[in-house]
Structure formats: C-alpha cells, structure tokens
Amino acid sequence: MELYLYLALFAPLAGSLFAALFGASPKTIVAGLVPSILLFVSFVSSTILLVHILSGGAVVHVEMMTWMATGDLYIPFGFVVDQVSVTMMMVVTVVSTVVHFYSVGYMDHDKGFNRFFSYLSAFVFSMMVLVMSDNFAGLFIGWEGVGLCSWLLIGFWYHKESATWAANEAFIMNRIADLGMLIGIFLVYWNTGTLQYEQAFAAMPALEADILTLMGIFLFIGAMGKSAQFPLHTWLADAMEGPTPVSALIHAATMVTAGVYLVVRANPLYDLIPHVGIFIASLGAFVALFAASMALVNRDMKRIIAYSTLSQLGYMFVAAGLGAYWVALFHLMAHAFFKALLFLGAGNVMHAMHDELDPFKMGGLKKAMKWTFIMMTVASVALAGIYPLAGFFSKDLILEVAMIEHHYIIYSVLLFTAGLTAFYSFRLVALIFHGEERYKLFGVHPHEAYKFMLIAMSPLLILAVIAGSFKMTYFEMVTAVLPATEYHVHSALAYWIMTIGTQLFVIAAIAFAYKKYARSGITVPDGTSKMENRLCYKILSNQYYIPYVYEEYLVKPYRELSTVFWKQIDMKVVDATVDGIAGIIYGTGEKTRDMQSGNLSTMLKWMVAGTVGLLSLAVVFGLAVRYSVEIKAILSGLGV
C-alpha cells in the first residue's frame, strides 16, 4: 500500500515539474496532457487506498525520512492515509483530474498554457501534502504551498492590474491568518512536546483548559484565513480574477476547505473545548447568512458562486463547531463536487460569451448551450439541497445537527440561508439560460464548449447526483477515527415536518427566482431602477462596505505609517548609519592614499615611524607589567 501512497502523493509533483520544463516555450499539448494523466494515476492510487481502507484494511502510515531531529525536537516527513485523509484525497484527486482535463480545452488559446499546468499540478501536490501529513509541521508546509500556488494562479494573468492586486490581497490576508496558525502550532509543541497528531492529541486531555482554548482559537484563526471566514473573507471574491478552472479547483473544492479539514483533523482538541466550538459554529452561521446575502444582488457570475462557496463553508463550520465532524466532512465532499461543476459550467458560459461576467447581459443561452445548461441546473439543484441530490443529504444533516444540539438560532439562520441559497443559485441560472436572448444586443454568438470538456465534467455531474447515497458507507468509514454521533430527530413526525418544510421552503425560493428573473423584459440594470436605489441594495452590492472600510481605515493609514517610517526612520537612521560607515572608510582611504607615493624614502620614513611606534608600545607594555602592582594600588587609591 505504501507504493500507492507515494504514487498518489508524488505523481502531481512529477507532472508539475514536467510541465515546468516547457514553462518558457510556446503551447505544447504534451505539457497539458502529461500532468493530467499523472493526476489520473494519483486518482487511481487514491481509489485503491480508499478501497483498502473501506475493506477494513489498516491505516497506512509511513515515515519517508527524518526532517528535523535536534534535541527533543523530532519531526519526520511522515504521511498517513486514514479514513479522514483518504476522503480528502479522493475529493482532491477527483476534482483536480476533472479540472486538469477540462483546462486542456479551457486554456486552449492561452499563451501561458504550459505554465498553467505546472502551477496547477504543484497546487495539487501541496494539497496532498496538506491532507496526508501526519504532523502539524507537514500540514503547515502544505498549507503554505497551497497559499503560494493560489497566489500564482490568481495572478496568472499578471498583465492585468486587478489580477495582481487580487493575488496579493489573497496572499497577505492568508499571511495574517497563518501567523495565528503558527502560534497555535507553537502552543501545541510547547505544551505537548510533539507535533505528531497522535501523540499531541493524546497529551491534550491532561492540559489546562485555558491553554487548550488558546490553542483552539489560534489554530482556528489559521483556518479562518484559508477558508475565508469573516473578517478575512474579502479575498475570496476578489480571487475570481484567476482563470475559472482555478476558481473551481482551488477556491471552491479544495484549498478553501483546508480550514474545515484542520478543524476536523484537530477534533480531539475541539472536543475538549466546546465553548470554542460554539464560537466556530456561530461564526459559521453568521458567514453563511452574510455571504448568501451578498450573493443576492451581485452582478458578477463568478462572484455569486464565490459567495455561495463562502456561505457553504459557513455551513461546514457550523457542523464542525457543533462536534459533528463527519457531517462537516461529508458536506465538504458533496459541496466540492457540485460547486466545481457549477464553476466549470460558468467557465463554459464565459468562453461562449467572450469573458462576459454579467448574467444580465446573457439570457436564453439554454438553446445554444444545452449540456452546460443541464449541468449547471443540476449543480444548482444539488446546491439548493433538493432531494435526492447530494446537497440534500449533507445540508439537511447540518440543519438537523443544529436542531438536535438545541441551537435554535443557528438552525433558523441556516434554514433561512438555505432559502437564500436556492434563490441566488436559480437567479443565476434563470438569468443565464432562460428569458430573452439579451446577448444578441451585444453581438455575441455563443457556442457550446468542446465535447471533451463536457465529457471531462461528467464525472462531477454524476457525483453531484449520487454523492448523497454514500452517506451510510461513508459514516461507517470515517467514524473509525471521528466521533460517531448519529443525528436523528427523536420523533419521526418532527423529522418529516422538518424535511418537507425545508424542501417546500427551498422550492418556493426557486420558484420565486424563476418568476422574477426568467420572464421576458429584463433589461441590463443601469443604476436608475427603484430597487437599485434602495439602501439595502446598496449595502449588499457594496459588500456591506467592508472592502471600503478596509481600504480607508486599514490600508491607507498603514500606507501613511509606512511612508513616515520610510522617510524618517529608514532614510534618516538606518540608511544614514550604513552610509556613514561607508563614508568613513572611503574618506580614510582617500586621505591615506598619499602614503603610497611610491617614493622609497617616504616609505622608509613611514617604516621607521612604525618601528618606533611599535617599540614604544612594547616598552610601555613592559613597564606596565613590571609595575602592575603599583599601578593597581594607585588606581584603587583614586577610587576607580
């Protein structure tokens, strides 16, 4: 089994390095195909490992080599394939294989074709390191690796000012959170003396509650950055500047869920500090509603889906915070499939519409793009949580968890958000695919994506439909390592009322979205309609003015402060000191240059002067040694 572990881990790296060889050369189809095929190899290996674990096989744990061993510190490059990491491996490899094959078509006309695949495969490798590591240090390497690849890929079209800005924003926001994460890891090491998951978690119950709380909070700050939770959420929407396959893979299915994975992985810690768990759950519920509300009015197709991702991450944190780790992981998996599908569909639409993002300028695309229409509709139905698609099983479960744990406020927030989710998803679908063909006004001739791109997407379509049926198999598998709490509403009647009520609510939201946006006579909003001038619309479409507040009250003062430091401290103190030292040395050289006149007699005079100087020093020193006792007596007499 070790062979498969190494194959799954290193095949993406090999693909990345291979594509990097062609980094500077013009588009070569090999540079796209080889990494994709290697990822398929990784996927097959992960599947073999999954089958091994499912059939009751032992957890695969390898120690590749020692990384650091000094004193008491011992950190190996160790990898573990247990029930949790194999789930993540499957999610990562399935989605990334699909996205790789899809990208061969999507990036067809891009100049950076080879570079793109090199970055994308490097991302998958980092993500595999993140999920497979058996210690916090390895997790952190993967964590930083995915951050780096995310930066490279958001800023992939680096000639665009907005793309580089978004890339830097994402990177800096994550850096802030990573500081918290690092402090958390340090706390773990200080208090348990190890970074290996097993030993660290085993040592935790003996620690004081305060320390555990601090650990939990700091680790969660790291998770908040990666998973874009409030108040570090602004980067995710801006990250949509990157190519769409990147949004599908990194900013929907895998990297942003790393925060959830961290909380799930650290479940023995969070079980000991339920009050932090409540905080996580409350924040998650808040973000779910907050992000969904911003998606309601946004007019950028990709941003709408990004807010929806944010909202779904909120759901996952609710489940993880309430101790239902397996539910969180289950929703993570289901969400990865249908959200990646939704993004890839949006990519097809963007291609057809020549990179137009405003759904108000589309409409009626279902004729031209039948398959994309079907896929995006299915993905949206799954996202809305309609029976029997994936979202129904996982999202309903989170609602039930909130109900059973008696957090009724969280439950109502999540229920309301489920309605919003359905509304904005179908607002998007209705605007893009139904109604009048408004794109004709803009002289666009949409066409369906390449056939192989659609075929590449089909595994996600199937998984979005059937992922819910894995629920019990999945439950039996992961509860070998996660707390096995089954969530059942006590009375059957209550269960049916809840489920059917939720379903009706969601269907009503969908119907309302269709009624409002699938009709004919929709025009491109120009800022004059009554709705657009309402206060709440303005607040929502400006994202609660949070980016504005950050810019005005954090970025600008910081820039001012930096200017002051630059001009006053850097230039006048640091630079002046360094320049002064250089100036002194230079001046001394300039002045003593005359000594090297080349005149032998002058040199001899200097030599004599030197000899006399050294001799006198020797005499003085000799005298000092000889009369040292007397000198000491005199000095002590002077009171020195």
Partner 1 sequence: MEIGLNHYLILSTILFAIGLIGVMRRKNLLLLFFATEILLNSVNIAFAAISHFYGDLTGQMFAFFVIAIAASEVAVGLGLLIVWHKRHGTIDLDTMSTMRG
Residue 608 lies near partner 1 (rule: CB under 8 A): yes
Site for partner 1 in 264-283 (CB under 8 A): none
Tokens 């061993």 sit on residue: 69
Query: Alpha-carbon dihedral of residues 270, 275, 278, 280, nearest 10 degrees?
Result: -60
Task: Answer yes or no whether residue 640 interacts with partner 1 by CB under 8 A.
Answer: no
What HEC string does 239-254 produce? HHHCCHHHHHHHHHHC
Whole-angstrom distance between the N-terminal and C-terminal Cα of the chain? Answer: 77
Q: Compute the Cα dihedral for 40, 45, 50, 55 and give only its sign.
A: positive
Q: Is 588 in the site for partner 1 (CB under 8 A)?
A: no
**577 lines the binding site for partner 1 (CB under 8 A):** no
**Nearest distance from residue 596's CB to partner 1, in Å?**
3
Cβ atoms < 10 Å from Cβ of 469: 12
Backbone angles phi, psi at 160, to 5 degrees: -90, 125
Measured from the CB of residue 617, what is the shortest distance to partner 1 in angstroms?
18
Rounded to the nearest 5 degrees, what angle is found at the Cα of 367, between the Cα atoms of 362 and 370? 100
Supply the minimum distance, in Å, between the C-beta of residue 602 and partner 1: 9
| Residue 590 sits in the site that holds partner 1 (CB under 8 A) | no
Min separation Cβ 621 and partner 1, Å: 20
Closer Cβ to partner 1, 599 or 636, answer by number: 599
Q: Which residues lie closer than 8 Å to 413 by C-beta, 6 or more apart?
A: 285, 286, 288, 289
Q: In angstroms, how far is CA 377 from the centroid of its own chain?
A: 26
Q: How far is the CB of 605 from partner 1 (least distance, A)?
A: 5
CB 391 within 8 A of CB 382: yes
Task: Report in angstroms how near the CB of residue 609 gets to partner 1 at its nearest.
Answer: 9
For the CB of residue 614, give the shortest distance to partner 1 in the complex, in Å: 14
Q: How far apart are CA 474 and CA 326, in angstroms?
A: 9
Residue among 541, 508, 516, 545 at smallest CA distance from 527: 541
Among 491, 528, 601, 636, binds partner 1 (CB under 8 A): 601
Q: Which of 25, 533, 563, 597 binds partner 1 (CB under 8 A)?
A: 597
In angstroms, give the least distance from the CB of 616 to partner 1: 14
Q: Does 593 interact with partner 1 (rule: CB under 8 A)?
A: yes
Q: Which is nearer to partner 1, 491 or 592 (CB)?
A: 592
Residue 19: CB minimum distance to partner 1, A: 57
In the complex with partner 1, which residue's Cβ is closer, 612 or 623?
A: 612
Of the two residues 70 and 601, which places its CB atom closer to partner 1 in the complex?
601
Q: Among all chains, which residue has been given the structure tokens 């004193």?
A: 71
**CA–CA dist 562, 324 (Å, integer):** 45
- x/- mask, partner 1, residues 197-236, rule CB under 8 A, reads ----------------------------------------
CA distance 537 to 601: 93
Q: Of the listed pieces 18-26, 445-453, 509-517, 596-604, which binds partner 1 according to CB under 8 A?
A: 596-604
Nearer to partner 1, 55 or 599 (CB): 599
Single residue of 598, 637, 639, 640 touching partner 1 by CB under 8 A: 598
**Residue 69, beta-bridge partner list:** 74
210 vs 590, which CB is nearer to partner 1?
Answer: 590
Q: SS in 3 state form for 495-523? A: HHHHHHHHHHHHHHHHHHHHHHHCCCCCC
Cβ at position 620, least distance to partner 1 in Å: 19
Least separation, in Å, of the C-beta of 610 and partner 1? 12
Which residues between 430 and 469 bind partner 1 (CB under 8 A)?
none
Question: Binding of partner 1 at residue 599 (CB under 8 A)?
Answer: yes
- Collapsing DSSP states into helix, strand and coil, what is residue 25? coil
Nearest CA to 35 among 56, 24, 19, 59? 19
Q: Measured from the CB atom, is 520 or 602 closer to partner 1?
A: 602
The nearest distance, CB 626 to partner 1, in angstroms, is: 19
CA distance 187 to 194: 10
Q: Name the one range near partner 1 by CB under 8 A: 45-53, 407-415, 503-511, 600-608.
A: 600-608
Q: Calculate the alpha carbon distances from 39 to 11, 36, 96, 128 in Å.
A: 6, 5, 7, 11
Closest CB to partner 1 among 176 and 615? 615
Count other Cβ atoms within 10 Å, centred on residue 127. 31
Q: Which is nearer to partner 1, 568 or 611 (CB)?
A: 611
Give the DSSP letter string of 236-302: HHHGGGS-HHHHHIIIIISGGGHHHHHHHHTHHHHHH-HHHHHHHHHHHHHHHHHHHHHHHH---HH
The CA-atom distances, in angstroms, between 30 and each of 9, 27, 34, 546 are: 21, 9, 6, 44
Binding residue count for partner 1, defined by CB under 8 A: 11
Q: Does 600 bind partner 1 (CB under 8 A)?
A: yes
Report the alpha-carbon distance of residue 443 to residue 77 in Å, rounded: 56
591 forms part of the interface with partner 1 (CB under 8 A): no
Minimum CB separation of residue 586 from partner 1 in Å reads: 15
Q: Minimum distance between the CB of residue 615 and partner 1, rounded to whole angstroms?
A: 11
Write down the least CB distance from residue 595 to partner 1, Å: 8
- As given in the structure block, the two tokens for residue 517 are 């946006």
Question: Looking at 596, 631, 634, 635, which residue binds partner 1 (CB under 8 A)?
Answer: 596
CB nearer to partner 1: pick between 58 and 608: 608
CA-to-CA distance for 524 and 119, rounded, in angstroms? 37
Between 176 and 604, name the residue whose CB sits nearer to partner 1. 604
**Sign, CA torsion 81/84/90/93:** negative
Which of 576, 604, 614, 618 touches partner 1 by CB under 8 A? 604
**Residue ranges that bind partner 1, judged by CB under 8 A:** 593, 595-601, 604-605, 608
